[in-house]
Amino acid sequence: MAVYFLGFMLDSSIKLWYNIYMKMTRQHFQALATMTADIIVSINATKDQCIKITDEVIAVCKEANPKFDADRFETWIQDILINNS
């Protein structure tokens, strides 16, 4: 299964290194939510683009942590977007 992040495919060696050496904390995931919201705002993304960007970041996060809560992540992004509008 190919994993894409913001349109770039991550090859298996990068995924292996990432899964072995990167231990993601709640703060890391919150930072990624902030980054994702910043990208959405900076490109003035459409609804479809927002969904695509969010889904791509969620896919990478699930690779890093099988217990990753995608709903919570999406809520963080929505809260950031609402607070900055």
Eight-state DSSP code of residue 5: E
pTM, 2 dp: 0.71
3-class secondary structure for 9-25? EECHHHHHHHHHHCCCC
Domain range spanning residue 54? 3-83
Write out pLDDT tens, residues 62-76: 887 888 999 999 999
Number of domains forming the structure of the chain: 1
pLDDT tens-place string over residues 32-84: 999 999 999 999 999 999 999 999 999 988 887 888 999 999 999 999 999 98
CB 33 within 8 A of CB 76: yes
Residue that is written with structure tokens 């977007």 in the block: 81
